[in-house]
A and B are shown apart, each in its own frame.
Chain A
């Protein structure tokens, strides 16, 4: 599965570690959410970066105390019609201030890239090679956005005010 980061297909520097297996020090690993919570203090002692793959039916609030020390959170899209991960992503970014890598994993298709980007994801484990290759094209299709979502893009509502010089007043 190709990994897209910052718009490029890249090598994954993280290794997934199964729940029973030990997490070797010195390499970046991703562990399951339940295991992470159970062993958080030990795992966070390691010198290499730690990532967590978080299920989409559990509140991301449980991760909040650790987020400044976690390098990556991977959220799951078991099917691309299951949109819970979008809410989790926005909460992680906009409410809990997570600044690490936010990865979408599962059934991730090019038709979701822009939604995912706007929700705060910055890396994508893409199901199809052709979709990964089409990342740039698919995310440039739109330049008009209505919703403020924490990705910093100007919304239409704001742009309208700027245009008529009401921007300052509307803040």
Chain B
């Protein structure tokens, strides 16, 4: 993981002191809410229905155990004892007082964490593959690039007041776990004909009100040009992105209105003027950032130790957890372990301070002190020796972190929705909770197979409903909560937006309808291995629609 050097640390502390002054001015009435809002958002502070919410960044989803303890402390000291891990490698605290916000940020800074640019119309927290550095199919660690870009985009003198928010994702593996095609800029590390590693640059993807899959505007970008090319994209966007209509202000609309080719030409033009300037990346600069990343000192172990094999064959509960939560590590004898934050009946993605502390301790014991935050509102222990898996599992169970549902139907992604969010049309969390109860039987869930349900409480799509295999979107009709359902979305390298199933249904019906959809799939699939998305792809939504709505 990356450790701040004295420059990084100084900047974060200076930022906290600046914000302390901004908060003071607001509380003293020297700043209006309109003025202050922009300033607080750039420090991750929202005003929700009941309280202020703080969104802190977990850059590229990597946390040390000490940082996790720092989060637990914040939850305990300033919040109500829990936090919510989001789909964008952030954590949200829901109950922090504005008056205490500067102290909260200072506490975070003391463990090398910050909330800079987690909101506002600027470059947001840069996300990567949650398995970066350990995935078997990766050829370079994308976090080094995310960190270079994090630094470059922090308090950028030109791009802190963009037309709209700006999200960048970087993936360096064959299988895209960072959803690069639905970001403002998606960067996919690729190898060119000569064997050199560089970036495919994709722009203009995004979800929200007008979802788009991003377009490739540069098939291969050399590493030295990484910053200059991104600077060129941002400069074109900053000047030409629409500012007359908040719903048309994202770069995807500019790319769409200009056409990807014309947009690419504009960028190319701008880039040519700056590519050989101060932004050209020297290998020594890259090396200096890379040097701050530390990697575990693995033992030499072999795969599948006999105790593990025995536990898998003898203990069905362990086997079920193993099958859902454990993934291949590129280091022999190690495994990547996902910690489900989706207990049956619980709010998705929430962890209590006690759980955070426990996870920190387990990370110290079993994962070289390192924790990851994924995109599915779960946590990951990235370097667990396979011989420790049984013991780890036992420990996780004691803290309700071993629900064997990772990647299955009850591993639901849900935004905060109307229970917290001032923009919501409808609740998300209780819908997710009810669905986890419907599918609580692990055998049933396993027989259904991999199925992602995503729920958003409004069109802003924080729950990424468009790319859920089943997407649920809260809408409002005559003051009542209704839900639209889409099927067949996906976020991987075949990224696709879901197709609307039919008329929206009421709050009281949504869980029944989703159960019917899943039953329809079980009846319609060709064989048990055919995944839900593949059945939808093969048949379209019509047969689902017939079965689901016929009964109503």
Residues of A whose CB lies within 8 Å of any CB of B are 59, 80-84, 86-88, 90, 95, 109, 111, 114-119, 130, 141-149, 151, 155-157, 159-161, 164, 166, 169-171
Contact = CB atoms under 8 A, between A and B. Distances in A.
Interface of B: 5, 7-8, 10-11, 14-15, 17-18, 22, 30, 35, 38-39, 121, 151-152, 154-162, 235, 238-239, 243, 273, 277-279, 282, 284-285, 288
B279 A115 contact: no
A90 B158 contact: yes
B278 A148 contact: yes
Given A81-B38, A83-B161, A115-B157, A144 B5 contact: no
A160 B161 contact: no
B17 A141 contact: yes
Contacts of A164: 288
B158 A81 contact: no
Contacts, number: 107
Contact of B279 (A114, A145, A148): A148
A83 B162 contact: yes
State the majority secondary structure of interface residues on B: helix
B158 A86 contact: yes
21 contacts: A80-B35, A80-B161, A82-B161, A83-B160, A83-B161, A83-B162, A111-B39, A115-B155, A115-B161, A117-B157, A118-B157, A130-B30, A142-B155, A144-B11, A146-B156, A151-B157, A155-B278, A160-B5, A160-B288, A161-B284, A170-B282
Given A146-B154, A147-B152, A86 B161 contact: yes
Contact of A83 (B10, B17, B158): B158
A90 B157 CA distance: 9
A149 B153 CA distance: 12
A157 B35 contact: no
A156 B156 CA distance: 13
A87 B158 contact: yes
A143 to B, nearest CB: 7
Contact of B7 (A149, A159, A166): A159
Contacts of B39: 111
Given A83-B161, A146-B151, A156-B151, 15 more contacts: A83-B238, A86-B157, A86-B160, A86-B161, A115-B158, A119-B157, A142-B14, A144-B10, A146-B156, A147-B158, A156-B8, A157-B288, A160-B288, A161-B284, A166-B284
Contacts of B160: 83, 86, 115
B284 A143 contact: no
Contacts of A81: 38, 121, 161
A144 B6 CA distance: 10
A119 B160 CA distance: 11
B352 to A, nearest CB: 35
Contact of A149 (B157, B238, B288): B157
Contact of A84 (B156, B239, B284): B239
A35 to B, nearest CB: 23
A87 B284 contact: no
